[in-house]
């Protein structure tokens, strides 16, 4: 008997048992979680938020004053209202935070704990606390408790160290001075906070302490009815912002609970009024003509029946557990992925892609074709990647996927689900309506959309941001190894989304890179990676530099000069560097822009591209430094007028290079 049938049989037996004593029905359950430290698995990091050593940083770590905002959102919506019982849940949360700055005279604007109907809540830096947008203050809906460290007259702040309750506005409903309890929000010390809302009393209390012991009296107590704002499901999280400072806002631990939901009994048990109540079943009247034989038989059946049931249950449980323990490694890995994306059926994906018809192919990645999937039941559209992996390769990929599935960044193509059936691995991603950067960038403007200069700058910044996240902010460093324009997708607003982790490698921070077979696409590969096969974050930086030059110039990394019949190939990096040496670097700008850009901005972007594509990996800037340069928070890296040359002790043949498409093989 296969495990599925065993499980069905066990469920049948349990149903028989419960048919005599049905369980109480509970329409809503209280939520509870506790994170003594953080991982990327349960959270979405927005803006400049990042993870480092189990601690969440909500604003950027910089050596120079900057403006920054970031949010952390718990991935799963929390139920606050139960329609069956018409009850709004109460809640309590506790967390530890710190606000530090290298400059005692310059601090950020503060940190907030918020509840929002939107899991993408991210606002502007400065006095907007990463909650509200400077251009549209009413855009984001939220309930928030702010720990404000800057006096902002725009929002009628009382002082620069207050705690306040905000409802859809940064003008606090009520606020209190933290110094009244000898709590200095800007001390840099770890501060413990407790926020408790009791719906029956219609009161919200906020407690603060330098210790982990909750004070007896609250710093802030607000009489407020939040039931109108706590809809059925709400997301919870934190946000923070800075305005021209080096302040760092961190969250070190977090626990959260809802309470107040009561179990609802079925109407057939009107006397069951509490969890501890006992249902009394009246006994049948005794027979006037008792039969001793029948009594003994009934007694025997009464003892043997339950005994037989529990013996059968034990046997089948033992067999079922043994079967489950003998399942393949792939099944265990699938369980790891279940915590995040959902599992699709093969039948569902096959129908959505019309049997994986060639007309539905929208791209080709490092490990398979990508199909457009239209789900008839919901009308939603996704992108389905069909893997070429099988056997052991499939198990290895699932092992990597179990970690990659937990990555969360606004510039990543988000994994929605997966399927491992029929000997195939299928990955379901969110659909990007504007396709790949490669397609949009190199298409004829007469037949498509020309990327404006502002959109190209946004692409450069977004790609740098997500690479900084992968390289420095994840639990394990992620080396992508295949950064190129065809692996960068564009969403509906032309924001960049990095995808295709088919060649990605995971490694511990501060560990030496492991030599592997060189993989990727010619034109984007760093020279030391071609030579030694060692992938590091600096090899990703090189590929990023080539992409940036491609975006600015509108030319491919390697092009034939003089038309298709010409045999002379021109390398984009060499071409831009030669123009820089002649003092004409801005002439490398995409001619289709017709000069519609600021010359100093174009020059800076081209120099960033050259500095990243430097032949010597030791001279290339870190991707974090690149992000600071693009955000005008750091000075550009000096670039030599003449491209440096490197020499290696051995040679590499073209056969050593693994390329993921025919075009790359031809180029090589």
- Residues 627 and 633: their CA atoms lie apart, in Å, by 8
Average pLDDT of the residues in 77-82 = 89
DSSP symbols for 499-538: ---TT-EEE-TTPPPPB---BS-TTSS-HHHHHH-B--HH
* pLDDT tens, position by position, 528-548: 888 777 788 899 999 999 999
pLDDT at 222 over 80: yes
| Phi, psi (rounded to 5 degrees) for 388 | -90, -10
Highest mean pLDDT among 3-12, 38-47, 262-271: 38-47
661: pLDDT strictly greater than 90: no
The pLDDT score that the predictor gives to residue 524 is: 87
Q: Of the given ranges (32-46, 82-96, 395-409, 427-441), which has the lowest mean pLDDT?
A: 395-409
Among the listed residues 109, 157, 482, 500, the single catalytic one is: 482
Across 167-186, average pLDDT: 89
Distances (CA, A) of 402 to 40, 70, 553: 12, 26, 38
Per-residue pLDDT tens digits for 98-132: 998 877 666 778 999 999 988 878 888 878 888 88
Say which range, 108-112, 175-179, 392-396, 581-585, has the weakest mean pLDDT.
392-396
Beta bridge partners of 205: 196, 221
Radius of gyration in angstroms for the set of CA atoms belonging to the chain, rounded to a whole number = 30
**Residue 321, pLDDT above cutoff 80:** no
Give me the pLDDT at residue 532, please: 77
pLDDT mean across residues, the chain: 78
pLDDT at 59 over 50: yes
If one compares 474 and 502, the residue with the highest pLDDT of the two is 474
Checking if the pLDDT of 660 tops 50, the result is no
Q: How confident is the model at residue 409 (pLDDT cuts 50, 70, 90)?
A: confident
Q: In Å, how far from its chain's centre is CA 400?
A: 16
What does residue 509 show for φ and ψ, rounded to 5 degrees? -65, 145
pLDDT of 305 reads 58
Checking if the pLDDT of 303 tops 70, the result is no
Per-residue pLDDT tens for 479-488? 888 899 988 9
pLDDT at 360 over 60: yes
Average pLDDT score over residue span 359-386: 83
Give yes or no: 482 in active site.
Answer: yes
Residue 649 confidence (pLDDT) above 50: no
What local confidence, expressed as pLDDT, does residue 503 receive? 58
548: which DSSP letter?
H
Cβ-based neighbours of 135, under 8 Å, separated by 6 or more: 124
Average pLDDT for residues 439-468, to the nearest whole number? 88
pLDDT at 338 over 90: no
- Phi and psi at 656, nearest 5°, equal -80, -10
Query: Residue 296 has what pLDDT?
Result: 53
Cβ atoms within 10 Å, residue 450? 17
Could you write out the DSSP letters of every residue in 185-217?
Answer: TTS-S-EEEEEEEETTTTEEEEEEESSSSPPSS
- Res 42: pLDDT: 84
Q: Quote the pLDDT of residue 160.
A: 80
pLDDT at 271 over 60: no
Q: What pLDDT does residue 269 have?
A: 40
pLDDT tens digits for 491-514? 888 999 998 766 566 555 455 444
- φ/ψ of 370, rounded to 5, equals -115, 130
User: Taking residues 270-274, what's their average pLDDT?
Assistant: 36
User: Which range, 26-30, 289-293, 487-491, 660-664, is most confident?
Assistant: 487-491
* pLDDT score of 515: 43
Give the pLDDT confidence score for residue 9 in this predicted structure.
Answer: 57
Distance CA 401, CA 194 (A): 36
Residue 293 has pLDDT above 80, yes or no: no
Average pLDDT rounded to a whole number, residues 354-369: 80
pLDDT above 80 for 522 = no
> What does the pLDDT read at residue 499?
81
DSSP letter at 473 equals I
Q: Are 400 and 506 in contact (CB under 8 A)?
A: yes
Most confident of 174-183, 194-203, 531-540: 194-203
pLDDT band at 157 (very low <50, low <70, confident <90, very high): confident
**pLDDT for 576-585, tens place per residue?**
999 999 999 9
Q: Decide if pLDDT at 281 tops 50.
A: no
* Residue 52, annotated as binding a ligand: no
The helix (run of H) or strand (run of E) holding residue 33 is strand 32-35
Place 622 in a pLDDT band, splitting at 50, 70 and 90.
Answer: very high
> What pLDDT score does 390 carry?
54
Q: Above 60 in pLDDT, residue 10?
A: no
Identify the structural domains of the chain with CATH numbers, from first to last: 32-259 (2.60.120.200), 330-430 (3.30.200.20), 437-667 (1.10.510.10)
Percent of the chain whose predicted confidence (pLDDT) is above 70? 72
User: How much is the pLDDT for 294?
Assistant: 46
For position 583, what pLDDT does the model report? Answer: 93
Q: Is the pLDDT of residue 401 over 80?
A: no
pLDDT tens profile 562-599: 655 666 788 999 999 999 999 999 999 999 999 999 99
Q: Which residues of 392-401 are buried (b: 16+ CB within 10 A; e: fewer)?
A: eebbebbbbb
Query: In this model, does residue 298 exceed pLDDT 60?
Result: no
């Amino acid at each position: 008997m296969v495990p599925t049938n065993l499980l069905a049989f066990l469920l049948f037996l349990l149903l028989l048992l419960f048919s005599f004593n049905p369980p109480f029905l509970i329409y809503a359950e209280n939520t509870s979680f506790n994170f003594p430290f953080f991982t990327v698995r349960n959270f979405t990091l927005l803006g400049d938020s990042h993870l480092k050593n189990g601690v969440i940083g909500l604003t950027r770590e910089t050596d120079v004053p900057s403006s920054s905002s970031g949010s952390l959102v718990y991935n799963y919506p929390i139920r606050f209202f139960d329609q069956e019982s018409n009850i709004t849940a109460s809640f309590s949360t506790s967390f530890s935070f710190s606000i530090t700055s290298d400059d005692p005279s310059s601090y950020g604007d503060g940190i907030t704990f918020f509840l929002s109907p939107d899991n993408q809540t991210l606002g502007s830096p400065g006095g907007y606390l990463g909650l509200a947008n400077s251009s549209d203050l009413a855009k984001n809906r939220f309930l928030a408790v702010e720990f404000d460290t800057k006096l902002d007259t725009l929002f009628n702040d009382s002082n620069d160290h207050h705690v306040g309750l905000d409802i859809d506005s940064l003008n606090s409903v009520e606020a209190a001075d933290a110094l009244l309890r000898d709590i200095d929000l800007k001390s840099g010390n770890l501060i413990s906070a407790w926020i408790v809302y009791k719906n029956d009393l219609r009161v919200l209390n906020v407690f603060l302490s330098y210790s982990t012991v909750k004070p007896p009296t609250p710093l802030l107590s607000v009489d407020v009815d939040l039931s109108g704002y706590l809809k059925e499901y709400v997301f919870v999280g934190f946000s923070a912002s800075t305005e021209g400072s080096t302040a760092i806002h961190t969250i070190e631990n977090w626990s959260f609970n809802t309470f107040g939901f009561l179990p609802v009994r079925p109407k057939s048990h009107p006397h069951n009024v509490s969890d501890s109540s006992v249902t009394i079943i009246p006994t049948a009247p005794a027979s006037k003509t008792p039969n001793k034989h029948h009594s003994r038989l009934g007694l025997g059946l009464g003892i043997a029946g339950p005994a037989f049931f529990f013996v059968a249950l034990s046997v089948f449980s033992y067999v079922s557990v043994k079967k489950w323990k003998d399942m393949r490694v792939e099944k265990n890995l699938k369980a790891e992925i279940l915590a995040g994306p959902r599992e699709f059926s093969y039948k569902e994906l096959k129908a959505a892609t019309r049997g994986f018809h060639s007309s539905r192919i929208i791209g080709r990645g490092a490990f398979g074709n990508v199909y457009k999937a239209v789900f008839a039941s919901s009308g939603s559209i996704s992108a389905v990647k069909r893997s070429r992996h099988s056997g052991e390769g499939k198990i290895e990929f699932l092992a990597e996927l179990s970690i990659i599935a937990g990555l969360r960044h606004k510039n990543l193509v988000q994994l929605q689900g997966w399927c491992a059936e029929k000997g195939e691995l299928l990955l379901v991603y969110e659909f990007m309506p504007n396709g790949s950067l490669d397609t949009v960038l190199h298409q004829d403007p007469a037949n498509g959309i020309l990327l404006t200069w502002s959109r190209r700058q946004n692409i450069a910044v977004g790609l740098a941001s997500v690479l900084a996240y992968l390289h420095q902010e994840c639990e394990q460093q992620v080396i992508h190894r295949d950064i190129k324009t065809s692996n960068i997708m564009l969403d509906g607003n032309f924001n960049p989304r990095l995808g295709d982790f088919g060649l990605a490698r995971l490694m511990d921070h501060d560990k030496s890179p492991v030599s592997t077979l060189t993989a990727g696409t010619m034109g984007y590969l760093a020279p030391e990676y071609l030579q030694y096969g060692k992938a590091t974050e600096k090899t990703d930086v090189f590929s990023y530099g080539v992409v940036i030059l491609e975006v600015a110039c509108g030319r491919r990394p390697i092009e034939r000069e003089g038309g298709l019949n010409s045999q002379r190939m021109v390398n984009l990096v060499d071409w831009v560097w030669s123009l820089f040496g002649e003092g004409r670097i801005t002439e490398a700008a995409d001619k289709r822009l017709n000069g519609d850009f600021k010359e100093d901005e174009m020059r800076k972007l081209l120099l960033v591209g050259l500095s990243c594509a430097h032949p010597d990996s030791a001279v290339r800037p870190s991707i974090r430094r690149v992000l600071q340069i693009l955000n005008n928070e750091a000075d550009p890296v000096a670039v030599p007028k003449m491209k440096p040359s490197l020499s290696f002790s051995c040679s590499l043949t073209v056969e050593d290079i693994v390329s993921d498409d025919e075009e790359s093989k031809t180029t090589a």
